């Protein structure tokens, strides 16, 4: 049985904002700013006590937002995230047992990997698109270039250490379908309620070109 494909989602935007929401009241205006800026795919990380409530609020109140749950690290996160309204899941890494749980999820998943062996293990579960994390620390662009030949069927969403200075280099790789990053959602802008700044950063990111074909 084939897994739910993330390609229709990833085709919508070249950048997935990786969001840490500390205050629930920031969730809806932040998501609206990102959608207005052309970045509808929003990864809300499960790093704070309000993360699931933030996903629930955005899913019910922000038209056009496509919510993902990030930092999914255990099977319990899968059910809780989907119940809250997550349309896709992202993990920072994937153990063999957890890979099986993610493969059984009813929504698209970007399982995390940082090596060729991990990528091959995930490929054996049926995954075709993976999160490459932490991208810069794990080899960055040279790593992704080097595995394009031996693993031609795989596509990646690199995340970690990516920003305005290197994002275009990543998106120029044919095996990179999108990138994840937090530079479009600066913590100081969120704290200050400066969602116009977030919208403008999102707009610039939404105009980036990518080499990957869908």
Question: Choosing from 83, 131, 145, 209, which is the catalytic residue?
Answer: 131
**213 in active site:** no
Measured between alpha carbons, how far is residue 105 from residues 51, 75, 114, 167 in Å? 20, 10, 22, 30
CB of 20 within 8 A of CB of 187? yes
- Does residue 131 have an active-site annotation? yes
SS3 at position 138? coil
> What is the set of active-site residues?
43, 131
């Amino acid at each position: 049985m084939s897994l739910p494909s993330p390609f229709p989602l990833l085709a919508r935007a070249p950048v997935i904002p990786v969001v840490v929401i500390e205050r629930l009241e920031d969730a809806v205006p932040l998501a609206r700013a990102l959608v207005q800026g052309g970045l509808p795919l929003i990864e809300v990380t499960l790093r704070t006590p309000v993360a699931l409530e933030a996903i629930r609020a955005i899913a019910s109140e922000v038209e056009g937002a496509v919510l993902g749950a990030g930092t999914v690290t255990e099977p319990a996160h899968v059910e809780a995230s989907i119940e809250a309204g997550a349309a896709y899941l992202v993990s920072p890494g994937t153990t063999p047992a957890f890979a099986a749980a993610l493969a059984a999820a009813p929504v698209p998943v970007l399982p995390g990997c940082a090596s060729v062996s991990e990528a091959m293990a995930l490929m054996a579960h049926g995954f075709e698109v993976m999160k490459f994390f932490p991208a810069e620390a794990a080899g960055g662009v040279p790593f992704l270039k080097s595995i394009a030949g031996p693993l031609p069927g795989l596509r990646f969403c690199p995340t970690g250490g990516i920003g305005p200075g290197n994002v275009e280099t990543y998106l120029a790789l044919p095996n990179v379908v999108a990138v994840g990053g937090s530079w479009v959602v600066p913590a100081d802008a969120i704290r200050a309620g400066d969602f116009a700044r977030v919208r403008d950063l999102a707009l610039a990111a939404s105009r980036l070109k990518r080499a990957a074909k869908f």
